[in-house]
Amino acid sequence: MRDICLSLLNERGLVIIEWVRYVEDSKVRWKEGKKRRFFSKAFEHVQHWGFKDVTHMANHLQLYTFVSN
């Protein structure tokens, strides 16, 4: 099973970079650590790319008095 998962990882897996925090000259800095590969449980094939004809949230918020213009 491990060999099957490894063979599919490059094609269907996701990669995130784990950042490492360190201090240099009394300043906090970040450097790229290791890359972690994994399969997402919520990842599905995209059936259609496009835009929906819906109004934006900003238009909805203009109806309320607490939003200043």
- For tokens 């109806």, what's the residue? 63
By residue range, what is the domain housing residue 3?
A: 1-44
**Residue 66 belongs to a domain:** no
Residue 68 in domain: no
In a domain, 21, yes or no: yes
Q: Quick check: pTM over 0.75?
A: no
Where residue 2 falls among pLDDT bands split at 50, 70, 90? confident
Give a yes or no: residue 40 inside a domain.
yes
Q: Is the dihedral of CA 36, 32, 20, 34 positive or negative?
A: positive
Q: Is the pLDDT of residue 41 over 70?
A: yes
Instruction: Tell me what pLDDT residue 39 has.
Output: 79
In a domain, 61, yes or no: no
3-state secondary structure 4-44: HHHHHHHHHCEEEEEEEEEEECCEEEEEEEEEEEECCCCCC
Domain annotation covers residue 55: no
User: Is 39 a domain residue?
Assistant: yes
Which amino acid, residue 53? D
Into how many domains does the chain fold? 1
